[in-house]
Amino acid sequence: MSKKKIIREPAEIRNREEIEALKQNDTYEKPDNWYLSPRMVETFILGSDETYEYKVKDKTKKIKISRKFYGDNVLVQRSIITLASDRGLLLIGEPGTAKSWLSEHLAAGISNNSLNGIQGTAGVTEDQIKYSWNYALLLAEGPSNKALVPGPVYVGMKEGVITRFEEVTRCPREIQDTLISILSDKILLVPELGEKEVLLANKGFNIIGTANTRDKGVNEMSSALKRRFNFETVAPIGSVEEEIEVVESQTKNLLGQDKVKVDFSHDIYELLVTTFHELRQGETTDGIKVNIPSTVMSTAEAVSVAYNSGLYAKYYQDSIVKPEHLALNIKGAVIKDNIEDVQKLNQYWDLVVKRRGSENKLWDQYYNSKKYFS
Ligand SMILES: Nc1ncnc2c1ncn2[C@@H]1O[C@H](COP(=O)(O)OP(=O)(O)O)[C@@H](O)[C@H]1O
Ligand SMILES: [Mg+2]
């Protein structure tokens, strides 16, 4: 039997060498118990052209730091500073704007641990956030530290690391509010172990929450909890060139992990990202108005269309990604909950793709693939 492989490693493992290089070169001031200094966390996330030398078992290696997050650099700096302060960080925005991605990389840079977290849902309970019990031990021996099963907030406070809370606003409000005392007093009471049993948070602990503005949530958060967080709004990538860079590098990574080799030209990425960008904006680069689909045309969705197109070309075709493969996969990304979005896609094809096709071969092939979704 062949050896099993992990589908997706956490950021601190994927980028182990970069983090090691940054750590070895880190001469800057840093808050207590941070793995890297704020400057190096920033470099880890925003990348750098500088080459860093680092040692692995007496061997000297060199590495450049890749850019992970594209967009507002100051937002990244502010986020890092917030995490060094006594307030939590709440990243809000449309789906697919890299809130989770940024949260993961912040935790990887600051704590070298991005896995300590919880996914918010309507069913999350307080004990999943704080701590629960090993019931067999609890029944046999009564409450003890041995029987206590730490939740992500407990671990964060005890170890002095970041706790990630994905989609906070999907949790019931009273559950969200358990974070208030944790963020303000940095104390966790464990009454089962005795009246005086408290866990005091160690330095390095903080919370990164994320929330989607498309969920009804953010407005319904209690104002007491809102005050404990600094909010940062993450916007979709503004520049087409940067978005192409993200989609291309992410797709290459995904296909690379699958050992899928395909011929995927830059022009095809440009075709895809232009479509997404223009449909999201409701206007083409040459000023034509188009109808905006109700689905979010996020960068994350563009990556997924590109990835599927690569897989399709590999497993069903001759490993050359063509415009028709994009068209074939775009439907599932755009048409999610509103059938009228098919018309909007059709309109874009008739109004924009067709016209460009008269001057450009790729756009013409793209136009002729309309049959795949109309
Ligand atoms: N500004 C950006 N910089 C880098 N990658 C981005 C950006 N926006 C979107 N992405 C891509 O989108 C993917 C999904 O984003 P994700 O963090 O899941 O979105 P969210 O949590 O906001 O819904 C990321 O893994 C990344 O590939
Ligand atoms: Mg997310």
On whether residue 82 sits in a domain, the answer given is yes
Residues 359 and 296 in one domain: yes
Phi and psi torsions of 92, nearest 5°: -120, 160
* Domain contains 182: yes
Q: Of 233, 252, 271, which closes a domain?
A: 233
CATH number, residue 196: 3.40.50.300
Q: Is residue 2 part of a domain?
A: no
Helices vs. strands in the chain: H and E counts, helices first: 18, 11
In tens, the pLDDT along 281-290 reads 999 999 999 9
Answer whether residue 34 shows pLDDT above 80. yes
374: pLDDT confidence band, cut at 50, 70 and 90?
confident
Is there a single domain that holds both residue 165 and residue 283?
A: no
Q: Quick one: which ligand is closest to 117's CA?
A: 2
Q: Which two tokens stand for residue 320?
A: 């050359």
Q: Give the pLDDT of residue 1.
A: 63
Q: Which domain holds residue 202?
A: 11-233
Q: What is the pLDDT of residues 248-270, one digit of tens each?
A: 999 999 999 999 999 999 999 99
Q: Which residue has 């880890």 as its token pair?
A: 44
Q: Are residues 218 and 86 in the same domain?
A: yes
Within-domain flag for 3: no
**What is the β-pairing status of strands 162-166 and 206-212?**
parallel
Total domains, the chain: 2
Residue 1 falls within a domain, yes or no?
Answer: no
Q: How much distance in Å is there from the Cα of 131 to the middle of ligand 2?
A: 24
Q: How far is the CA of 96 from the centre of ligand 2 (A)?
A: 7
Helices 99-111, 73-84: crossing angle, 10 deg rounding: 50
Tell me which residues have their CB closer than 6 angstroms to ligand 1. 69-71, 93, 95-101, 210, 237, 246, 250, 299-300, 303
Whether 183 and 88 have beta carbons less than 8 Å apart is answered as yes
Considering the domain architecture, whether residues 304 and 254 belong to the same structural domain is answered as yes
Residue 303 included in any domain: yes
Residue-averaged pLDDT of the chain: 95
Mean pLDDT of 194-212: 94
Task: Kindly report the backbone phi and psi dihedral angles of residue 47, in degrees, each rounded to the nearest multiple of 5, phi listed first.
Answer: 80, 170
Around ion ligand 2, residues with a beta carbon closer than 5 Å are 100
Ligand nearest, relative to CA of residue 213: 1
Q: How far apart are CA 147 and CA 161, in angstroms?
A: 22
Give residue-wise pLDDT tens across range 42-52: 999 999 999 99
> Is residue 252 situated within a structural domain?
yes
Q: What is the pLDDT of residue 216?
A: 65
Q: Please state whether 23 falls in left (phi above 0), alpha (psi between -120 and 50) or beta.
A: alpha
Q: Is the pLDDT of residue 215 over 90?
A: no
